[in-house]
Amino acid sequence: MSVTTSPPGMSLVADHAHEHDPAANALSGFWLFMMSDLIIFGLMFGTYITMLTPMSFAGGPGPKDLFELPGAAMETAALLTSTFTFGLASLAMKYDLGVRRVVFWMMVTLALGLVFLGLEIHEFAHMVAAGAVPQRSGFLSAFFGLVPLHGLHVTAGSIWLVMMLIQIGRTGLTETTKSRIARLALFWHFLDLIWVGIFSVVYLGGIA
Amino acid sequence: MSQAMWSAVFGRLDLNSLDFLRMFLHPSMNDMILSGAAWLVIIGAVVTVALLTWFRLWGPMWSQWLVSVDHKRIGVMYIVLALVMLLRGTIEGALMKVQQADGLHGGFLSANHFGQLFSTHGTIMIFFMAMPFLTGLINIVVPLQIGARDVSFPMLNSFSLGLTVAGAMLVMISLVFGEFSTGGWTAYPPYTEVSFQPGVGPDYWIWAVTLTGVGTTLTGINFVVTIFKERAPGMTFMRMPMFTWSALCTALLMVFAMPPLTVATMMLAADRYLGFHFFTNSLGGNMMNYANLFWLFGHPEVYILILPAFGVYSEVISTFSGKKLYGYPTLVIATMAIGFLSFCVWLHHFFTMGQDANVNAVFGIATMLIGIPTGIKIYDWMATMYRGRIRFSVPMVYAIAFMVLFVLGGLTGIILANPPVDFEVHNTLFLVAHFHNMLIPGTLFGMLAGYTYWFPKVFGFRLNDRWGYTAAFCWIVGFILAFFPLYAVGLMGMTRRTVSYTNPAYQPWLLIAGIGGAIVTLALVSMVMQIVVSVRDRAQTRDIGGDPWNGRALEWATPSPVPAYNFPVIPHIHALDPFAVAKEAGFGYQEPVSFSDIHLPGDTWVGIITAVFGTALGFGLVWYIWWLAILSFAVLAVTLVGRGLLGDRHPVTIPAAQVRRQYQAWLAEVRTITPVTRALEWDPRNHGVAANEYFQEAAE
């Protein structure tokens, strides 16, 4: 729609081309949320690093006494694979390869996420049994502030995955569902990235 | 009932935690005031409920306000909350002034009660007065200024409001049940840890601040997306009004600066509830982490508070000088520079807490740098006024007082930014005088100016100017008397947060400050009177045309009160100050060629459910009533997930014919109104259509 002589300053013309794109808005909002969340993780990392001192160990166990690479490596493998399978789900969605394939890869992702959580809980139980509880020292408080926070995010992501599976069951792959799954995928990859940080700083850094 | 049963149902609530009974149990001046406050809250709540019932307002309040997602109504609800909290916060401030005036060798308040007063005063004024006030103004104004129908996420907006209300409710409830923290608004551990304050006080602080902090983060996200994505065609960044620019910068600060607060409060909660050792004295806790986390939030927060006020002043000074804003690009750059620098100075809040002198020097210099963009702004505003058609309206009085007082306060800030000087005056009333000197003329006057300026846009009538001037002068004089003496006693060595003292040299100054507190209380009375008189006389101050001040930005191009859909058709923007440019060319009130159907989001219960169950969640956590906390959390989770799955079930469509009818009726009414010149701005003849006088003068 064009106006031949538009008045200066502003003009009131009905413009059907100017429509909202809710999916794009939601995506922008979600990026901002992740930036905000990243600040939280950044500060938890910062706190953890400042607590890597003998003063904060308070005579209790330090990273060398607590962490073992095999367990952390298995958790890493589970989560990294799950981000790959979510990528396959996203591709199946993008190229319209059918709802069944999308659902299949999302279920694989969910299963791997649950495997990751199981391994993590197992590790925490092991630590608690050894007396390495958050109440023991500032360092352990920082550890249990950082790593389970990531675990909580994975739990939230898993619940979200279940919700999306329910929604696909209810309404099929609508535009709304697709845009939500796209954001969930972003979230899942984001958690993967955080985990790479945790693996490097907490586990590799702790054992080195 | 057995002890175990009792604590399962009521947690750690008991008879002693009912503050309204204390006046009978321990009759003393201190406990009379404590119980009196509790009774005020109870009576206030009962009277509100009674009035709503008597006037049969529950229905309208529910359907038009509580479940509404209209950004203007949400904004009004934020400001109502802010004004109620302003009432409480100011009375607390005045009470502390009176105590200190009387505080030589004693006074009438106990140290514990005084500690609660300065903690709630600070917490309320920052989180539940200033933040809701500026969020409310941003909500009302920004979508109008950028030519949008609503914010990007209207339901989220309602949810954020619910969280803020829940936090404020917790602070109010602490007057009735139990006590508030005595750890100040910053709640520094280890003093706020269980070992020093085992009671509910710090827990009230933690959950109130956490709830509103999360709400504010979401508000920030909402407005960044709104300003990036919802601008009308042609509304480029460099055509956005200054208020919208400051709102954008504020929203970005909210997104990035609120998370540190959430981290700090959650760690403190982990220490208090789960026995963690983030900040404890024992077993390797490190309270310096708290100081850093808190001020990583706290300093940007200062700019979250001040930037919207700068935005208001930019609009007010430009409009009431009848000129376009001088140096618009420099104001934009200065705003963004302030936003960036605000993340680089947090350490100046604890120069004395043991870091290297070189570190202090870096942060001291960074702090002084902020004076540069702020100075640019002051010069730009002065140049805007230069040879303008200045009207000394109420918002303008606030703006001029701000410019003088804020510069003085800024100069004391430069003094404090010097670490060696800061070592001398830290933790004294000099600091208290400084930040009140920034926040009262800066934020509060700005909010009150904005409230007066945009009031007719929302309600369709102007505020009474006589009571407005009275309030403004009481605020200005009261502020000066209440806080300038504190610079003197601060330099004399009086520490902040002191309930009583033994040095008689302080007392004359504190007496003056006490008088200032009384005058500020008169300002509050004037504001209440202003609302009463304005509503009574609203027929004489009707704003029909929607442009009572000869405004410049897009919001003045809409009818007052603004219809739910804001604009009949989305305007196309061709210039900065689009409405002013269009009016000067004689195109102020255009009739669109065609209309189309307008789609608006439907009402939602999410906000009110969040307010109620968010409060219950916080209350349950504070008092260890676990069943209540779990239940409330479950309700909130089910509500949000349910809303996510079901979506907006009641979207509204307004047919094009109806929009056309309403808009043409308004245009017809506008044409019957005689435009008024600026000399008649406060006259009953001003019905919101401005005469084109400057343009004519220029032509002559």
pLDDT digits 0-9 by tens, B253-275 = 999 999 999 999 999 999 999 99
What pLDDT is attached to residue A22?
A: 82
Instruction: Identify which of A32, A51, A166 has the shortest CB distance to residue B221.
Output: A32
Q: Does A124 touch chain B (CB under 8 A)?
A: no
Q: Does A5 touch chain B (CB under 8 A)?
A: no
Measured CA distances, A60 to A102, A130, A163, B287 (Å):
48, 11, 42, 19
Instruction: Identify which of A9, A21, A170 has the shortest CB distance to residue B582.
Output: A9
Q: What's A97's domain CATH number? A: 1.20.120.80
Provide the token pair at B8.
Answer: 């399962």
Q: What is the mean pLDDT of residues B687-695?
A: 81
Query: Residue A183's closest CA among B644, B242, B327, B395?
Result: B644
Q: Does A43 touch chain B (CB under 8 A)?
A: yes
What span, in angstroms and rounded, lies between the C-alpha atoms of B387 and B376? 19
Within this chain, do residues B139 and B10 fall inside the same structural domain, yes or no? Answer: no
Within this chain, do residues B52 and B151 fall inside the same structural domain, yes or no? Answer: no
What pLDDT is attached to residue B694?
A: 63
Query: Residue B555's closest CA among B462, B655, B455?
Result: B455
What span, in angstroms and rounded, lies between the C-alpha atoms of B366 and B353? 18
What pLDDT is attached to residue B28?
A: 84
Inter-chain residue contact B582 with A141, CB threshold 8 Å: no
Position B292 in a domain: yes
What span, in angstroms and rounded, lies between the C-alpha atoms of B553 and B42? 43
Give the number of other CB atoms < 10 A from CB of residue B24. Answer: 9
Q: What's B82's domain CATH number? A: 1.20.210.10
What span, in angstroms and rounded, lies between the C-alpha atoms of A113 and B59? 47
Q: Which residues of A touch B296 (CB under 8 A)?
A: 43
* Neighbouring residues of B104: CB distance < 8 A, sequence distance ≥ 6: B500, B501, B502, B504, B506, B507
Domain boundary among B56, B82, B102: B56
Q: Does A121 touch chain B (CB under 8 A)?
A: no
B286: left (phi over 0), alpha (psi -120 to 50) or beta: beta
Give the number of other CB atoms < 10 A from CB of residue B407. Answer: 15
Within this chain, do residues B3 and B86 fall inside the same structural domain, yes or no? Answer: no
Inter-chain residue contact B641 with A10, CB threshold 8 Å: no
Q: What is the mean pLDDT of chain B?
A: 93
What span, in angstroms and rounded, lies between the C-alpha atoms of B384 and B390? 10
Inter-chain residue contact A58 with B284, CB threshold 8 Å: yes
Q: Which residues of A151-165 are buried (b: 16+ CB within 10 A; e: fewer)?
A: bebbeebbebbeebb
Position B26 in a domain: yes
Residue A3 scores a pLDDT above 50: no
Q: How far is B222 from chain A (nearest CA, A)?
A: 7
Q: Does A16 touch chain B (CB under 8 A)?
A: yes
Instruction: Identify which of B220, B222, B573 has the shortest CB distance to residue A10.
Output: B573
**CB of B312 within 8 A of CB of B243?**
yes
Q: Which residues of B touch A158 (CB under 8 A)?
A: none
Instruction: Identify which of A8, A39, A137 has the shortest CB distance to residue B284.
Output: A137
Q: Which residues of B touch A50 (CB under 8 A)?
A: 286, 289
Domain boundary among B26, B56, B86: B56
Q: How confident is the model at residue A18 (pLDDT cuts 50, 70, 90)?
A: low
The C-alpha torsion from B394 through B395 and B398 to B402, rounded to 10°, is -160
Within this chain, do residues B31 and B152 fall inside the same structural domain, yes or no? Answer: no
Q: How far is A193 from chain B (nearest CA, A)?
A: 19
Position B287 in a domain: yes
Q: Which residues of A touch B153 (CB under 8 A)?
A: 25-26, 29
B15-29, B75-89, B463-477, range with the lowest pLDDT = B15-29
What span, in angstroms and rounded, lies between the C-alpha atoms of B87 and B124? 10
Q: Does A134 touch chain B (CB under 8 A)?
A: yes
A21: left (phi over 0), alpha (psi -120 to 50) or beta: beta
Report the share of chain B in percent with pLDDT over 70. Answer: 99
Q: Does A145 touch chain B (CB under 8 A)?
A: yes
Q: Which residues of B touch A7 (CB under 8 A)?
A: 582, 585, 587, 590
Q: How many CA atoms lie within 13 A of B152 on its CB side?
A: 24
Q: How far is B282 from chain A (nearest CA, A)?
A: 8
List the single best residue of A5, A18, A32, A135 to mutate versus B (max B Cβ within 10 A). A32
What pLDDT is attached to residue B36?
A: 87
Reported in sequence order, the residue ranges of B175-318 that DSSP labels E, i.e. its strands, are none
Inter-chain residue contact A28 with B228, CB threshold 8 Å: yes
Q: How confident is the model at residue B106 (pLDDT cuts 50, 70, 90)?
A: confident
| Domain ranges, residue B279 | 57-604+648-696
pLDDT tens, A106-132? Answer: 999 999 999 999 999 999 999 999 999
Q: What is the mean pLDDT of residues B383-396?
A: 94
Inter-chain residue contact A163 with B641, CB threshold 8 Å: yes
Characterize the bridge pairing of strands B598-600 and B652-654: antiparallel
List the single best residue of B153, B286, B555 to mutate versus A (max A Cβ within 10 A). B286
What span, in angstroms and rounded, lies between the C-alpha atoms of B615 and B595? 44
Element (H, E) at B599: strand B598-600
Residue B700 scores a pLDDT above 50: no
Q: How far is A100 from chain B (nearest CA, A)?
A: 20
Position B639 in a domain: no
Position A87 in a domain: yes
Count how many pairs of residues, chain A against chain B, have C-beta atoms within 8 Å. Answer: 184
List the single best residue of B145, B252, B276, B579 to mutate versus A (max A Cβ within 10 A). B276
Instruction: Identify which of B263, B575, B583 has the shortest CB distance to residue A43.
Output: B263
Q: What does residue B685 show for φ and ψ, rounded to 5 degrees?
A: -75, -10
Residue A53 scores a pLDDT above 50: yes
Within this chain, do residues B507 and B549 fall inside the same structural domain, yes or no? Answer: yes
Question: Which stretches of chain A are DSSP H helices?
Answer: 22-50, 54-57, 63-66, 69-94, 99-129, 138-171, 175-198, 205-207
pLDDT tens, B586-599? Answer: 888 988 888 989 99
Q: Does A32 touch chain B (CB under 8 A)?
A: yes
Position B614 in a domain: no
Residue type, B303: Y
What pLDDT is attached to residue A2?
A: 44
pLDDT tens, B590-643? Answer: 888 889 899 999 999 999 999 999 999 999 999 999 999 999 999 999 999 999
Residue A17 scores a pLDDT above 70: no
What pLDDT is attached to residue B669?
A: 93
Instruction: Identify which of A44, A47, A55 has the shortest CB distance to residue B284.
Output: A55
| Domain ranges, residue A166 | 65-207
**CB of B611 within 8 A of CB of B589?**
no
Within this chain, do residues B48 and B184 fall inside the same structural domain, yes or no? Answer: no
pTM of the shown model? 0.96
* Neighbouring residues of B82: CB distance < 8 A, sequence distance ≥ 6: B128, B129, B130, B131, B132, B133, B136, B447
Q: Which residues of A touch B600 (CB under 8 A)?
A: none
Position B612 in a domain: no
Inter-chain residue contact B293 with A32, CB threshold 8 Å: no
Q: Which residues of B touch A36 (CB under 8 A)?
A: 217, 220-221, 255-256, 258-259
List the single best residue of A141, A155, A162 to mutate versus B (max B Cβ within 10 A). A141
**CB of B445 within 8 A of CB of B402?**
yes
Domain boundary among B17, B37, B56: B56
What pLDDT is attached to residue B241?
A: 97
Position B688 in a domain: yes
Inter-chain residue contact B277 with A58, CB threshold 8 Å: yes
Query: Residue B137's closest CA among B320, B332, B305?
Result: B305
Residue B365 scores a pLDDT above 70: yes
Inter-chain residue contact B578 with A25, CB threshold 8 Å: no
Instruction: Identify which of B152, B270, B596 has the shortest CB distance to residue A29.
Output: B152
Inter-chain residue contact A13 with B595, CB threshold 8 Å: no
Instruction: Identify which of B284, B554, B582 has the shortest CB distance to residue A8.
Output: B582
How many structural domains comprise chain B? 2
Residue B570 scores a pLDDT above 50: yes
How many structural domains comprise chain A? 1
What pLDDT is attached to residue B15?
A: 82
Inter-chain residue contact A18 with B570, CB threshold 8 Å: yes
Q: Which residues of B touch A35 (CB under 8 A)?
A: 255-256
Inter-chain residue contact A15 with B557, CB threshold 8 Å: no
Q: Which residues of A touch B644 (CB under 8 A)?
A: 163
Residue A1 scores a pLDDT above 50: no
What pLDDT is attached to residue A15?
A: 63
Within this chain, do residues B120 and B189 fall inside the same structural domain, yes or no? Answer: yes
Q: Does A44 touch chain B (CB under 8 A)?
A: yes
Q: What is the mean pLDDT of residues B28-37?
A: 86
Instruction: Identify which of B260, B572, B644 has the shortest CB distance to residue A11.
Output: B572
In chain B, what is the straight-line distance between the N-terminal and C-terminal CA atoms, in Å?
88
Q: How confident is the model at residue A14 (pLDDT cuts 50, 70, 90)?
A: low
Element (H, E) at B487: helix B465-492
Element (H, E) at B266: helix B242-274
What span, in angstroms and rounded, lies between the C-alpha atoms of A72 and A124? 11
Q: How far is B244 from chain A (nearest CA, A)?
A: 18
Residue type, B248: L
Inter-chain residue contact A39 with B593, CB threshold 8 Å: no
A97-111, B66-80, B132-146, B634-648, range with the lowest pLDDT = B634-648
